[in-house]
Structure 1
Amino acid sequence: MNGPETTANTRLKWLIGVGITFVVAATGYILAMVPGFSFIGPLGSAIILAIVYRQIFGFPYAYNSGITFSSKKLLRVAIILYGLRLNINIILGEGLEFLIKDTVVIAFAVLSMIALARLFKADFKLSLLLGVGTGVCGAAAIAAVAPIIKAKDEDTGISVGIIALIGTIFSIGYIFMRPLLDITNTEYGAWAGMSLHELAHVALAAEPAGSNALAIALLAKLGRVLLLIPLCFIIIYFVRRHQKKSAPDGVTIQFPWFLLGFILMSLINTYIIGPVIFIPEAMVESVYSLSTFLLTMAMVGLGLNVSLRDLQTKAFRPLMAMIIVSVALSALAFMMI
């Protein structure tokens, strides 16, 4: 008799754990409507709530299985669905010039963060996550790379929080700087798309410059998202090469199969949705919203693992390195427009 009761209790705790991430994520969406937090966005607001909850109440270990499900499984589902945002033809056609420039941007961000991490003696994995998030597409890129380098949940969570905060500050700074710059609105959009962190940050900064600037900004940004795929495979190569030198025999890195799902969704969006099958725009937007909400739930799970007390000294140096790289990246992108 004890077996079924134990199973039911385990399932209930799992359900409560998933429910906690759902409620905090939903609260993040509500909080994002409040002036001030609207600049941070739902994802950033939700992870801040999760981190604050952890510092006040501690980690809810009784419901860890459900929280881990959100931070691991739902994260991969969100990344796969994120591929539906990519139209490969548009990027390879109209955005080919941006694709070349975006490659320079990503290489600069990642390599600069690695160099500064060594110079500052900063935590390498946390610095690499911040470099990838800065160079590619914020939380989604961090979430994709974290399993490859076997980053701790607290490292992933704190890096997403830092990206949300710094990216928001930069976006607002861009808006105030735009009238002072001797560039056209479309050039401003290209600058924002090539240099800002999250897709939401790009939209926030470019929208005041008009629809043309916003379209160019999103095109430049989506080129960076597309380059997440080869970047992940490059990182896999270096991780495996390092592993052969240092890891014991029999230890292998798990291939991130969800990346293949990401690629498949990109191909479906490019060559099936529209050309072969008509899907109403409202339905496509619903899938976009679902992927964003699932990613937010996953970030809540990661945020609950963040202990600021443990990371006070660990995160400071990577944060300083990221700010330096972000400023330098903005200057580099400005010179390329």
Structure 2
Amino acid sequence: MKPALWRSFFPGIALTAFIASVGFMIAQLPLADKVGPLAAAILSAVLYRHFFGYPEKIHSGIQFSAKKLLRLAIILFGLKLNMNVIWNEGLPLLVRDLLVILFAIGLMMILARLFKADDSLSMLLGIGTGVCGASAIAAVSPILKAKEEDTAISAGIISIVGTVFAIGYTIIRPWLPLDAEAYGMWVGLSLHEVAHVALAGAAAGDDGLGMALLGKLGRVFLLVPLSLVLIAIMRKSSKSQGDHTIAYPWFLVGFILMSLFGSYVQGNLVVIPTPVMEGVSFLTSFLLTMAMVGLGLNVSLRDLRQKAWKPMLLLLITSLLLSFLTYWIV
């Protein structure tokens, strides 16, 4: 490797890894542990950019983390999706999950038009709310040709708002007229990220947590068909505008293959030790955090104040109405 590339490439990757590690350490602190490492790392990256500026000399390494490592993290994320569980629960679960996704995206875009909020941020936040938070945002951003800044901002916002809702669910759990399984399903259908679902679902014990994760898995499962629909829409839009640069996101194929491996091969044809699987799970989270750091370094606090407050307010409204809707259909 050429010395110039070494000076740009590896230090850039190292910086994103360092800030990601800082995010994980911050997430171990009291109160911050409720927010999680992803939001902590994105905020750390934004503050780094604010106080030290964007490190142009190591741009290529940062971009590698933001783009290549992001796709690798999404592929590995497929291991978290157990398709057997989805098939066993059947059509009713997927219908409710589909309703959640359509409601979240549709309402966010309607509100964005009414309040003249940023369309790109609103779409990303709607998809993150409906599917699986920052992971879904990261997966669809290349398809939607979203700016790296928009991807980082929306991922950070949804991580923070989702954490607030998850804590709120845990607090009100004792006063809700729902049994453990019904509460768990409500959590799984309405909360943003898998981590938020796990946090809130644990308040109802093992039965509630199991049902919460089941409801969430259905939404993760629908990420692939949703992505294919978005690809078709973007390609049609590109053709009408004379632009033919919408490439197929092949990392989604890797996501599907890893899901199939985890669902039907692992534990049946091949037995991978639990510590190894736990290590892969941690690696997935760390790579995704590194990628979000790379994106977060593109965020200007000045632009964030001007651009993000409306989408964040609309996300709060959408999340609240989604909670009421899913409570009613549980």
TM-score, scaled relative to structure 2:
0.97
Deviation at 1:94, TM superposition (A): 2.5
- Whether 1:270 and 2:243 are equivalent positions in the alignment is no
324, 330, 333: which one pairs with 2:326? 333
The answer to whether the Cα contact below 8 Å between 1:95 and 1:220 also exists between their aligned partners in 2 is no
CA offsets 1:250-302 (integer angstroms, 9 cap, x no match): x3201101000001111111121112111112211111111111001001101
> What SS does structure 1 have at the residue aligned with 2:117?
coil
Look up the equivalent residue of 2:291 and give its one-letter code: A
- Whether 1:141 and 2:153 are equivalent positions in the alignment is no
> Where do 5+ consecutive residues of structure 1 fail to align?
none
> What SS does structure 1 have at the residue aligned with 2:281?
helix
C-alpha distance in 1 between matches for 2:229 and 2:115: 24
The answer to whether the Cα contact below 8 Å between 1:82 and 1:291 also exists between their aligned partners in 2 is yes
How is 1:71-86 mapped onto 2 (pairs within 5 angstroms)? 71-86=66-81
1:311 equivalent in structure 2: 304
2:34 equivalent in structure 1: 39
232, 236, 256: which one pairs with 2:231? 236
Does the C-alpha gap of structure 1 residues 199 and 122 become closer, same or farther in structure 2, counting only changes over 3 Å? same
Deviation at 1:60, TM superposition (A): 0.9
- Whether 1:104 and 2:96 are equivalent positions in the alignment is no
- Whether 1:284 and 2:277 are equivalent positions in the alignment is yes
1:150 equivalent in structure 2: 145
207, 218, 235: which one pairs with 1:223? 218
Deviation at 1:208, TM superposition (A): 1.9
C-alpha distance in 2 between matches for 1:95 and 1:174: 26
C-alpha distance in 1 between matches for 2:11 and 2:236: 41
Deviation at 1:155, TM superposition (A): 0.3
> Where do 5+ consecutive residues of structure 2 fail to align?
none
1:67 equivalent in structure 2: 62
> What SS does structure 1 have at the residue aligned with 2:30?
coil
53, 56, 68: which one pairs with 1:58? 53
> What SS does structure 1 have at the residue aligned with 2:233?
helix
Pairwise CA RMSD of aligned residues? 1.2
- Deviating beyond 3 angstroms after TM superposition, the runs of 4 or more aligned structure 1 residues are none
> What SS does structure 2 have at the residue aligned with 1:253?
coil
- Percent sequence identity over aligned pairs: 52
> What SS does structure 2 have at the residue aligned with 1:216?
helix
Deviation at 1:125, TM superposition (A): 1.1
How is 1:149-298 mapped onto 2 (pairs within 5 angstroms)? 149-248=144-243, 251-298=244-291
C-alpha distance in 2 between matches for 1:277 and 1:54: 45
Q: Which one is further off, 255-264 or 314-323?
A: 314-323
The answer to whether the Cα contact below 8 Å between 1:113 and 1:127 also exists between their aligned partners in 2 is yes
> What SS does structure 1 have at the residue aligned with 2:145?
coil
1:131 equivalent in structure 2: 126
Deviation at 1:244, TM superposition (A): 1.6
Deviation at 1:72, TM superposition (A): 0.2
The answer to whether the Cα contact below 8 Å between 1:153 and 1:305 also exists between their aligned partners in 2 is yes
> What SS does structure 2 have at the residue aligned with 1:275?
coil
C-alpha distance in 2 between matches for 1:132 and 1:217: 19
CA offsets 1:133-173 (integer angstroms, 9 cap, x no match): 01000111000010001111110000001001100110111
C-alpha distance in 1 between matches for 2:55 and 2:264: 44
Look up the equivalent residue of 1:300 and give its one-letter code: V
The answer to whether the Cα contact below 8 Å between 1:31 and 1:45 also exists between their aligned partners in 2 is yes
> What SS does structure 2 have at the residue aligned with 1:146?
helix
The answer to whether the Cα contact below 8 Å between 2:9 and 2:60 also exists between their aligned partners in 1 is yes
Deviation at 1:10, TM superposition (A): 2.1
The answer to whether the Cα contact below 8 Å between 1:99 and 1:223 also exists between their aligned partners in 2 is yes
